[in-house]
Amino acid sequence: MSTETGIPGLSKLEWLECSNCSAAFDARQLIGLCDRCGGVLLARYRLDEASRTLSPATIRNRNPNLWRYAEVLPGSDDPVSLGEGMTPLLRAGFLAEDLGLPHLYIKDESRNPTGSFKARGMTTAVTMARQLGARRVALPSAGNAGGAAAAYAAAAGLGVDLFLPIETPEPFRLEAVVHGARVHLLEGDIAECGAYMRTLDEDWWDLSTLREPYRLEGKKTMGYELAEQFGWDLPEVVIYPTGGGTGLVGMWKAFEEMEQLELISPGRRPRMVVVQAEGCAPIVRAFDEDKPKARAWEDPVTYASGLRVPAAIGDRLILRAVRESGGTALAVSDAQMAEEQLVMSRTEGIFAAPEGGATLAAARRLVESGFIRPEDRVVLFNTGTGLKYPDIPGLKVP
Ligand SMILES: Cc1ncc(COP(=O)(O)O)c(C=O)c1O
Ligand SMILES: [Zn+2]
């Protein structure tokens, strides 16, 4: 399945660095969080070596999937791949006119295997889990990550246990079961599902968001692709629906690496915009209160299940990226999200996820406030397909 994608010898993965205390760890072992301080671990590469073979010209001729950035990915000799990444960057013609933004784009992540950007994180995380000897993986999920983990585990020949909130829409549960996952439905939100999972003493590898270093590596390729698709000149604004935050933190890491690799010019990164749901907006609250970390949101409610994340382990990293970028954070209501989900779907022909609708609602507000200027190149991330959310508030299906 994966031989076509693998590029032997190209991965320049060197070590893992704690994002909190800077401790260094050997990457040739299954390791989750920093064992000194509990911090999130970040993969580090020999970028000077990588830059010898990773250039716009060499990349252009590689396969159209995210493993084209093999030097700066883990395990790229023998990946577990389903053809993820290189999703289209679409010009949003009707919306551009509607919002008065001639340079408005949608990065359509629904085109990934399993219908969401979560495939990116799972191709790298499952690749490394398999290479480092795991037999089973486990994670809590709001839906998309679980479906992706189930598919990639199936392709890798690994077992998988998923811990899902009981409200998780049926199509996600179906997908999990179809791919052979053991599904545990629990009362509570994703954080509670994860806490419960970690009380069980089972021999599985924990693939929870940012609790292992490699999902982030797959997700950062959204940043590499943006650069490549814009001719190595990044756009001015990126609007990203944020739950656990790996997408946003990953892109920020990609920008940093690309500056060191001299693929992009320094100081030309986008302003990163976090959008969350009004019923669950811990990062927005911390941003507004000028706090370095976010306290947990009580009673998270939103039909955008990917945004129903009351506490993100990467909260500091998310807030740091948003602030360093000169970005902002805002929350939108479920009603606005649903309305804009339909607007995006009806004007652009993309069956948007609620989370994609949230980015359009945010863009409209930021144009009104003047944060976005008409000349800005703006990218909305439609992070998944709307097909897996059967109930859209206010929509009657005949
Ligand atoms: C469709 C969708 N969008 C956005 C998110 C949030 O992603 P992140 O954890 O990268 O913030 C999720 C997470 O489940 C999701 O499924
Ligand atoms: Zn540490």
- Ligand 2 mean position to 41 CA, how many Å? 8
Quick one: the chain helix, strand, coil %, rounded to 5? 40, 15, 45
- Please say whether the structural domain 89-116+215-388 has been given the CATH code 3.40.50.1100: yes
- Ligand 1 mean position to 328 CA, how many Å? 18
Which of 111, 117, 221, 392 is the best mutation target for the ligand 1 pocket, counting ligand atoms within 8 Å of the beta carbon and taking the most? 117
pLDDT tier for residue 385 given thresholds of 50, 70 and 90: very high
What is the residue-wise DSSP string for 60-111? HTS-SSGGGGGGGSTTTTS---SS-----EEE-HHHHHHHT-TTEEEEEGGG
Q: Above 70 in pLDDT, residue 4?
A: no
Which atom of ligand 1 is nearest the CA belonging to 141?
A: 14
Which one of the ligands is nearest to 248 CA?
1
Which one of the ligands is nearest to 109 CA?
1
Which one of the ligands is nearest to 112 CA?
1
Q: Above 50 in pLDDT, residue 176?
A: yes
Q: Above 80 in pLDDT, residue 26?
A: yes
Q: What is the pLDDT of residue 95?
A: 98
Q: Which residues contact 268 (CB under 8 A, 6 or more apart)?
A: 233, 234
Which pLDDT tens digit goes with each residue over 120-142? 999 999 999 999 999 999 999 99
User: What tokens does 209 get?
Assistant: 């968001």
Which pLDDT tens digit goes with each residue over 178-195? 999 999 999 999 999 999
Residue 342 to residue 348: CA distance in whole angstroms:
10
Q: Give the relative orientation of helices 354-369 and 334-348 as an angle to the nearest 10 degrees.
A: 100
Name the architecture of domain 118-206.
Answer: 3-Layer(aba) Sandwich (3.40)
Q: What is the pLDDT of residue 9?
A: 78
Residue 32 to residue 250: CA distance in whole angstroms:
17
Which pLDDT tens digit goes with each residue over 249-274? 999 999 999 999 999 999 999 999 99
Q: Above 90 in pLDDT, residue 206?
A: yes
Ligand 1 proximal residues by C-beta, below 6 Å: 116, 118, 142, 144-145, 209, 241-247, 306, 353, 355, 383-384
Mean pLDDT across the stretch 366-371? 98
Which atom of ligand 1 is nearest the CA belonging to 250?
A: 10
Which of 111, 112, 114, 144 is the best mutation target for the ligand 1 pocket, counting ligand atoms within 8 Å of the beta carbon and taking the most? 144
Q: What is the pLDDT of residue 7?
A: 66
For the chain, the maximum distance between any two Cα atoms, rounded to a whole number of angstroms, is 58
- Ligand 2 mean position to 295 CA, how many Å? 20
Q: What is the mean pLDDT of the chain?
A: 96
Name the residue with the closest Cα to ligand 1, atom 2.
306
